Chain A
Amino acid sequence: MTAAGFLLPAAVGICLFSILPIAQALRISFFDYSLLSPQQTATGLENYERAWADPVFQIALRNTLLYTGLLVCVQTGAALALALLLKQRVAGLAFFRSAFFVPVVTSLVVVSTVWKLMYNSQGFLNGLLSTLGLSPQPFLASTTQALPSLVVMSVWKDVGFYMLIFLAGLQAISVELYESAAIDGTTRWQSFTRITLPLLRRAAVFVVVVGTISAFKIFTPVYLMTDGGPADSTMVLVFYIFRTAFRYFEMGYASAMSFILLAIVLVLTLVQFRLLRTTVEY
């Protein structure tokens, strides 16, 4: 009874502010409902059927998957590399750890605005290329460079956070294991692949799963930097859902797309948990 009493406030909060709105959104996804009018017309699965036939939805889905794949691969690799570097006893360690973490605590709106200026045709990056004698790049104005440009910015922004996760994982690995392996004559590469990587698996699961969920929700940089263009090359799901709901006022269709996104993220997360699960203990 006491436990239930303690749980009650949190349970009520979750019901009121999470479960009920989600249930309401699910209900709306089966209706034709404009934000400007209280009138709702039941349409069955029409909104879901429309999503699968909508070429912009398909482009947004493809771009989101591409962005997520690129981001998670680059981000995880970079975070692991940085964690391995910063695990060494090098001068200025505290400074580097802080420096890599500063972008994480910086507002994404600020970061997006600054990077937009840097990617500008006359911005810092093109100035740098020009100084090096290289030709200027269109970056956000190019259909092939815009999405990778967003990936680069997102990696810069979040790599510090994932680096800390890996760093914590690395510090939890007993030094004795490496010493024993060294006595057995293993190379550094063998130590890395046979000891470090298997024992970092739990940290890696966290990094990949959280990174994937976060990547699927990309919105702010697209909203501030590219508006989904050029030629829909950065049109991603959450931005398209936002635009449908709050620019075109089609709440029913936007809700349906939200639930498709939820289903995709759920399935991907379960697959990742399955693929990355570990029983390795030394």
Chain B
Amino acid sequence: MTLRPPSGVLAALIFFLALQTASAQQKITLRFWMSADPALEAAMDALLQEYAKANPTIAVQRDAFPFNEYHQKLATAFAAGEPPDAFWMDVRTAAFAAQGSLLVLERYLTPQNKEDIIASGLIEPVWKGRLYGVPMHELTEGLFVNRTMFEEAGIKIPQRLNEAWTWDQFVEIAKQLTKRTGDRTDVWGFGVLRHLSDWSILPILEQNNATPLSPDLKKATGYFNSTAAVEAWRWYQDLFVKHKVISVDPIPEGFPAGKIAIFQAPSTYRAVLDKRYPDFKYAVVPMFKAKRCAVTAGGWNVSIATRTKNPDAAWSLVDSLTRVQHAAWVRTSGYLPVRKSLLQREPTYRQYPWNIFTEQLQQCAVHRPPTAAYNFLFDTVLAVAKDVAVGRDVQKVLDDAAVRLDGALARGGR
């Protein structure tokens, strides 16, 4: 005997399956990648939850990778033909855009939307005049000083951009705060979070009216090793070799541990100090200056892969993260706003200490060259900084590096 289901049950089952299939067909899944950081990932997940509520037909699968391997993972995903739909991208935009990997976003970004973004935020995501990303936020640097050491030494702490120390004033203060016992240094006058990197050194060059590359980003010789650049690098070298106010080797957690008096660090360092060292007394002062003020600015943008099958859905995600939820993102992530409307609306950013960063961002921002050869430039500056810090001949080091950079730039950053 054969058991047969009632025809009504069969019809309901077929209807249910058809409904499921239709629903699965309509639901879009976007892959989204970002640089790993527990605090930022939590902040991003909150944004994605809001996005999911507003867009029930789109599911977002988020992945995060440590910064050191992030771009490599991304490159490998592109090579495998399976890039994420949308992802964080930084000054390396040019390298990816030059290979046709990124979607041009001009057709999505309305004029009002673009107009709301501060000028500094539209440097890194642009390559050859086309926009390949929308900034999530801005990041810049300042000097964090140990308030106790300054009070004990009777040194006034500047609180406005126009009170920034000159190079000479900075060196004298750093020397005054450096403490030694014989050959051993107990307190270094100066330290840098992004030690020896282009991010930290670029302002020193720009403060002396030097630039690493020509304006068209095609040549290094005559710029990377110009007289102004050599002067700036020599001043930087003196900090290590002549004045001995900074250690060649980085000192992990040296600033909150009281082993460093003045610490050059990004604006997000405030959140780190407040969370990990709530009792530590510090203050934020503007970056030192020379012929002019200069401080590096930049940050993460969100780009879309050319190969995405859902460009419109990917854009809706980008727009939500960068515009709709921008205020929530900067509040929870600790980054600076990149939108004029938020900067005008929120008085906090005009008050100390945020005013230091926002004033610098608007008056002193300089950017890492958005060239397709950026990784080569990054490695070159790091190697040069290491050589300069240990006392090698600045002119020779810069001349050799400029020749190599010329080669990389001529190959189109490949």
Contact = CB atoms under 8 A, between A and B. Distances in A.
Interface in A216-257: 227-232, 243, 246-251
A239 B398 CA distance: 23
Interface stretch (A16-24, A134-142, A179-187, A261-269): A134-142
A5 interface: no
A2 interface: no
B247 A36 contact: no
Given A229-B387, A230-B390, A231-B387, A37 B101 contact: yes
B76 A35 contact: yes
Contacts of B404: 56
Contact of B383 (A38, A122, A142, A229): A229
A35 B78 contact: yes
B79 A248 contact: no
Interface in B388-413: 389-390, 392, 397, 404, 408, 413
A118 B255 CA distance: 21
Interface string A123-161: 000000010000010100110000000000000000000
Contacts of B386: 141, 227, 229-230
A25 B99 CA distance: 20
Contacts of B414: 32, 34, 248-250
Contact of B79 (A36, A56, A130, A243): A36
Nearest to B79: A35
A243 B379 contact: yes
Interface residues of B, number: 33
A121 interface: yes
A251 B247 CA distance: 37
A243 B378 CA distance: 12
Interface residues of A, number: 29
A249 B79 CA distance: 10
A142 B373 CA distance: 28
B247 A121 contact: yes
B100 interface: yes
A143 to B, nearest CB: 8
Contacts of A248: 373, 375-376, 408, 413-414
A196 interface: no
Nearest to B400: A231
A64 to B, nearest CB: 18
Given A227-B383, A231-B383, A142 B390 contact: yes
A136 B249 CA distance: 14
A248 B405 CA distance: 13
A272 interface: no
A241 to B, nearest CB: 14
Residue of B99, B184, B382 contacting most chain A CB atoms (<10 Å): B99
Contacts of A120: 249
Interface string B98-114: 01110000000000000
Contacts of B185: 122
Interface in B71-109: 72, 75-76, 78-79, 81, 95-96, 99-101
B183 interface: yes
Interface string A188-205: 000000000000000000
A213 to B, nearest CB: 26
B248 interface: yes
Interface in B177-205: 183-185
A247 B233 CA distance: 26
A255 to B, nearest CB: 13
Nearest to A122: B249
Nearest to B74: A36
A133 B78 CA distance: 56
A121 B183 contact: no
Contacts of B100: 37, 39
A35 B83 CA distance: 12
Interface of B: 72, 75-76, 78-79, 81, 95-96, 99-101, 183-185, 247-249, 373, 375-376, 379, 382-383, 386-387, 389-390, 392, 397, 404, 408, 413-414
- Give the 9 A-B residue pairs with the shortest CB-CB distance, closest first: A37-B99, A36-B99, A35-B79, A35-B75, A247-B375, A141-B390, A120-B249, A246-B72, A229-B386
Interface of A: 32, 34-39, 56, 120-122, 130, 136, 138, 141-142, 227-232, 243, 246-251
Given A230-B390, A247-B379, 12 more contacts: A34-B414, A35-B75, A39-B99, A122-B184, A122-B247, A141-B249, A229-B386, A229-B387, A231-B397, A246-B76, A248-B414, A249-B95
13 contacts: A38-B81, A39-B100, A122-B184, A141-B248, A142-B390, A227-B382, A227-B386, A230-B383, A230-B392, A246-B75, A247-B72, A248-B376, A249-B414
